[in-house]
Amino acid sequence: MTLGVFTDDFFPWKGGMGRHVYEVTRRLPQERLFVFSPAANDLPRHVRVMPPCHNVLGNIAFSLWLHGNLDRLIAQYDLTCMNVHCGPGGLFLLRRPRIPVLATSHHTYWQQARFVAGQGWKRLFLPFERRTLSGADRIIAVSEDTRRVLIERYGVAPARSSVVSNGVDPRRFFPDLRAGKIADSVLYVGRLARRKGLDFLLSSAALAAERIPGLKLFLAGQGPAEKELRHDAMELGIERHVCFLGFVPDAELNAWYNRCTVVVVPSAFEGFGMTALEAMAAGAPVIATDVDGLRSLIQDGETGILVPYGDRAGLAKTIAELLLNPELRASLGRRGAERARQAFSWEAAAQRLTSEMEAIGG
């Protein structure tokens, strides 16, 4: 078997899709693998493809280019099967290839259009996404929630689908008792974008600060909504409580997860919720929204706490109660770390992918 992995996001990754592809493929037999992406790197077995207009059209440009070049790549690299990464930010297959196909769905355009304000227009891509899925021999989702959507909204037969979860590297994310704690601190890690629920988090933090005057909210990340979020913090009168950390390198994330008292993941939905898993692995108590992706990951009251998306009073109350309850924080952190370590590993994801490819005759 020679596997061709096709993705618009690889290393250095832009999001969860790229992280998934990088971590899984580097654990596969390298002599039987090629990764095709527009990413600029010198990794072995990576073939960089840069379609025309990719800087403008992104994954759409790559999908169109792939339509005309896939047969050539299959012959040139002697591919016997392929894994295409699809969904928002992923690729479309406009025709069925002559080799077996495994499609990996990180989340769906239906979820994007349904749950993210202003994204309803992305329903335009549903026919192309359905075409991609219908042309695959098997389909894997990175969470139970996305698999459910594939079955209920896309008509994917349960027997054709399965879950291959993301993983976490315990050598990079782990409880660190040496980290000095920042009292009454709340941490968000991720892209500064409206889909991530940051306006919801800021308004909830304003309510929580009425009960916790020393509350400090750290926002780690960059993105298009930063200017609006700074304005929102001023309008809410909490600018002194909010610190924009900017981009935090991977090498420093574990320290931040360990320094802060609570980690909050306030998203409108997630394909999986890598930030939540990394925080759990680091032993941080996690508060997350009860939405697709996160509810598959977190066991409410056991390995974290789930709150309804948009419930500002509920999120504020939960933040305040966790900041005031060290015993509950310790319990959630310990159980979360155990679940992350036992149930989610990149090695297991690579093994599952190999099994799925063998099942389709790759």
Q: Which pLDDT value is given to residue 128?
A: 97
Percent of the chain with pLDDT over 90: 95
Locate the domains of the chain by residue range: 3-167+345-359, 182-343
pLDDT mean over 26-32: 94
Please give the torsion angle defined by the CA atoms of residues 352, 354, 358 and 361, in that order, rounded to the nearest 10 degrees.
120
**The CATH number of 3-167+345-359 is which of 3.40.50.2000, 3.30.1490.190, 1.10.3470.10, 1.10.3720.10?**
3.40.50.2000
Mean pLDDT of all residues in 249-255: 95
- Please state the rounded mean pLDDT for residues 269-277: 95
Summarize the confidence of residues 202-221 as an average pLDDT.
98
Contact (Cβ atoms closer than 8 angstroms) between residue 85 and residue 106: yes
Does residue 334 sit in helix, strand or coil?
helix
Fold match between domain 3-167+345-359 and domain 182-343: yes
pTM, rounded to two decimals:
0.94
Residue 6: per-residue pLDDT: 98
Residue 362 confidence class, pLDDT cut points 50, 70, 90: low
154-202: pLDDT as tens digits = 999 999 999 999 999 999 999 998 888 999 999 999 999 888 999 999 9
pLDDT of 66: 97
Could you report the per-residue pLDDT of 300-326, keeping only the tens digit for each?
999 999 999 999 999 999 999 999 999
Whole-number pLDDT of residue 1: 80
Q: Is the CATH number of domain 182-343 3.40.50.9100?
A: no
Q: Binning pLDDT at 50, 70 and 90, where does residue 135 land? A: very high
Q: What is the mean pLDDT of the chain?
A: 96
Would the CA dihedral through 110, 355, 35, 79 be positive or negative?
A: negative
pLDDT value for 166: 96
Long-range contacts of 169-174 (CB under 8 A, 24+ apart): 169/23, 169/346, 170/281, 170/340, 170/341, 172/250, 172/253, 172/254, 173/253, 173/254, 173/257, 173/278, 173/279, 173/281, 173/282, 173/340, 174/254, 174/281, 174/282, 174/283, 174/337
Q: Write the pLDDT tens digit of every residue in 30-87.
A: 999 999 999 999 999 999 999 999 999 999 999 999 999 999 999 999 999 999 999 9
Do the beta carbons of residue 289 and residue 263 sit within 8 Å? no
